[in-house]
Amino acid sequence: MDTLKDFLKPEIIWCLVGLVLLLMEFAVPGLILFFFAIGAWIVALVCLFWDSAGLDAQLIIFLIASITSLLALRRYLKNIFHGHIRSVQSGKQDLDEFVGQRVTVRSAIPANGTGRVEFRGTEWNATSDDPLAPGEPAEIISKDNLTLKVKKLDQ
């Protein structure tokens, strides 16, 4: 019976609550429950050193610690765990992947007109200054959104 009494100490209960909240963070995205786990562990430490902390004091400490850690650390930790997201893709990096690559014309491209080419197994809209016939090889010279600008392949 003493082991059950030892197990029901407030510091053990708060530590387990923190562990459950941390495990729930893996199932619920948003990096919110993590900070409530921190709050629970802070209360566990307080209960470890302050035996006379009542339940009302424990709940107040839990809320203050959780909300303070949430407001102070969430933005910083979210950048670490979610990575840095660029709002604008580098144009040079985007072009390097396509420029100079060989494509095959699938539907005729009239001079200064639009047709279709195959690039890496996918058909793309394409424009060209020169007329290109179906089956003719071409080279990508630029890319504008989902349209490739191509030229006759120099052979």
Q: Would you state the pLDDT for residue 19?
A: 94
> CB neighbours of 100 closer than 8 A, spacing ≥ 6?
139, 140
Where a domain ends, among 39, 63, 82?
A: 82
In this structure, the answer to whether residues 78 and 16 fall within a common structural domain is yes
Phi and psi at residue 65, in whole multiples of 5°?
A: -65, -40
In this structure, the answer to whether residues 64 and 103 fall within a common structural domain is no
Q: Would you state the pLDDT for residue 153?
A: 82
Domain around 46: 2-82
Rounded Cα–Cα distance for residues 36 and 24 (Å): 11
Q: Helix or strand or coil: residue 127? A: strand
pLDDT average per 10 residues of sequence, the chain (155 residues): 71 92 86 89 90 86 92 77 52 65 91 90 90 90 88 79
pTM: predicted TM-score of the whole model, two decimal places: 0.48
In this structure, the answer to whether residues 10 and 40 fall within a common structural domain is yes
Q: Would you state the pLDDT for residue 146?
A: 84
User: CATH no. for residue 148?
Assistant: 2.40.50.140
Q: Would you state the pLDDT for residue 82?
A: 59
In this structure, the answer to whether residues 20 and 68 fall within a common structural domain is yes
At 6, list the tokens: 């030892």
- Residue of 119, 116, 136, 137 lying closest to 127 (CA atoms): 116
The number of distinct structural domains making up the chain is 2
Q: Would you state the pLDDT for residue 70?
A: 87
Residues 21 and 33 sit within 8 Å (Cβ to Cβ) = yes
In this structure, the answer to whether residues 63 and 9 fall within a common structural domain is yes
Distance of CA 15 to the CA centre of its chain: 30
Q: Would you state the pLDDT for residue 77?
A: 74
